[in-house]
Structure 1
Amino acid sequence: MTRKAGRRAMRPMAAVAAAGLLALVSACGGGGSSSGGHGSVEGSKITLSVQAGLVPQFKKYAAAYEAAYPKRKITVESLPDDATQYVQQLVTERLGNKLPDVLMNVDYAANQLADGNITLDISDRLKKGDLGLKGSNFLPQFMGQYRPVSHPEEITGLPVSADSTTLFYNKTIFQKAGVTEYPTADWTWDDLYRVATEIQQKTGGKYAGMSPTLGTGDQPAVYNPVIHAYGGYVYDPKTHKSGIGEPAAVKAWTKLLSAYGTASPKYSANAGSVAKFEQGQSAMAFSVRATVPTVKQTLKDDWDVQPMPKIDGKSTVGGGSYGLSISKSSHNQDAAWAFLAWFYQDNGGMKLAQATGQVVPPTQQGVDSGSWRQLPAPPQNEAAFAQDAKDAYLPAALPGKSAKVLSDSVIKAVQEVELQHRSVADAFGDAQKAVNQALASEK
């Protein structure tokens, strides 16, 4: 169930092109509404498009759905895994009136797709609980990623998994380093750094104490909640401003960057050289439930998980999601809704999704008592994923091409601090200016 595109924003020129196409789509208007029927369910044929990496799994879901409802048919089609191409293809299909009935949505693109009249507002149906699918059943912060900034009363998608950051740790490396203090649910970031530094020093750098918290520079699922815990913000949709250079954020960046060269290896812009937990190169790392099957397959050491460490008693859990949406131009919205209602049932698609080991259902019931919690270990401490899903802080996405400017500006600031020894306040002060200029152009 891993989304290949991740949380990467679009490249500059592609962002401009996609933004232009989306503006054209929006100007053309869009048909359909959350209450529209547009055809019968029995005997229906609908199309469903997801990124290529997810096609094999969704074909299994489609086969199970057709087995449960033999008179209904689903064709699964492919969208590009690349984030830029993914958005552009949906825009092109909208202009040609060739959108699928159900499409994969992603947190970083949800605003664009909604403003471009690609995704349907399903808030009315969710309020009514049509076919048992109720909005109130979902974790609000994950549902919130599909509330467009321009129309927060709308809901244009449903998250597939509560993808939350969690602390992974390798007990075998701890033992090799002679360190017996394993992570606990009460750990602070100071505890994390202290033990990680001890491991790195005692092994002479053979093992990283932890994989770099910011990787090569840009990990929004990590820095957003840390900045929030310090009382700051990355983006405030009410003021349409970024605060990544404000004093509270500077404290957060200072904490995050202090790991390089102590708790983690020195900074490297080469992603291939970053210590990887699944390859047994680091004692600890922040990751998500979606990576568990890969870790189980590649890492033969003894490992487990704990909730994210805290700052001043505050959670620092981040995350993201991909979701499923109904297109505005679908000719059979009732049939598309019927599939979604089946997919999110505990004995429907969600049962199959949980069996992959990658999915924590984004519902209160699914988090607390879903079948994913009975899968074979490792990890043993499944409760950590449940706790972090509930605690996850998921901020509003930046609109349009400003998201790409944020990503580029953060990476640049990190490199200036680590490689050019520029002050954190100066580097991120300039980064904030660049992002706010981009945000101003979005108005």
Structure 2
Amino acid sequence: MGDRIENSPYKFKMHTNETDIFLCRTDPLSGGDFKLLKKRIDEMYQVNLILDNLPAIRYPKKESYFLRWTGYPMGIKVQDAYYVFNHLKFTVLVHKYEEANVARVMGTGDGSELIPTVGSGGSELPGYMVVGFEVVPCSVMHDAQSVKKLKPYGKYPSPIKCDPTTVAMLVKENEPIVFTYEVTFEESDIKWPSRWDAYLKMEGSKVHWFSILNSLMVITFLAGIVLVIFLRTVRRDLTRYEELDKEAQAQMNEELSGWKLVVGDVFRAPANSGLLCVMVGDGVQILGMAVVTVMFAALGFMSPASRGTLIIGMLFFYMILGIAAGYVAVRLWRTIGCGDKKGWVSVSWKVACFFPGIAFLILTTLNFLLWGSHSTGAIPFSLFVGLIFMWFCISVPLTLVGELLWGKGTAY
């Protein structure tokens, strides 16, 4: 999900423009690293950077308008050659604030307590808020030998021209790669509450209305065919039954056929009725979680500024809707059993543990595989076990509450 943040080597000084900054020189690419880098470029891996909680956004020029994406590609393949983007041109949009209390503008979060107010401590320097973060990736051919003794964040020996329309840094085996960057600060009229508007109005992702309408037409056509066949079959059978006289009906009592057999099948308990109730209850819980999450996201309660709120919201709604899952499962169990209350406790436990149990087995297996390949996997695995335990302690009682809402009158 990209929720884990790592510190990057890039360093900015507030409202200080810098150009031709040398970042690092890699070791010569080994055969394995060379193949891995080409594979990542083929798979269109993206590099995502964050500054003051704002993702880096890219503005490539196309005709008379701009297309917007977050992040930038690691490299590009031209015919059979691979090129890497090794120079980044950053543009940081800042807005000068003149409020006496920064918290009143920014709220209590986003590091407002770390930014001094204007005039505090005798300083008359203006304060700035970051309201935009843009990046232009370039592929520049550097001389690896000229920077062999250069320290990080030093000045590159020669001026660097960043042209995003051309590529020059060819990826070669047993050859190092030099990374550089530049940063420019620009004052902007964008206010702090509006700094996420550029991300919410991205033009890069279009809704495929033609495909949606095409799918709806196909579904409508198929549904119409099924409905016509169903109505004709039922009408033919009903007409035949109405035309039969009493004597003919008496002769057919021994071998009923057609739609009259449905009368007995509707109220017959299905095989594995307990599993049916469990799956229906969990289905209602998952469907309700999806619907409620989408509604809250559409209403703007899950802002992209708060990273991870979507996953947290889904888990929260899933646990709360355990009440609905328990109610639906036990009610269906009672309906199939003609009001018999026996076995509803077993159904309740299965509803609470069925889907979480499957997720637990899958994720535990994946975590064990990751733990075996990475020594640092013990910490995520322990956190996952704690999350599953908390999930169990919350979802089981809520599921039992839902079942008690239906079974209270007869079970106790």
Q: Same fold (TM over 0.5)?
A: no
Give the structure, 1 or 2, with the largest relative contact order (CA under 8 Å, sep 6 or more): 1
CA radius of gyration, larger in: 2
- Using the size of structure 1 for normalisation, the TM-score is 0.18
More strand by share: 2
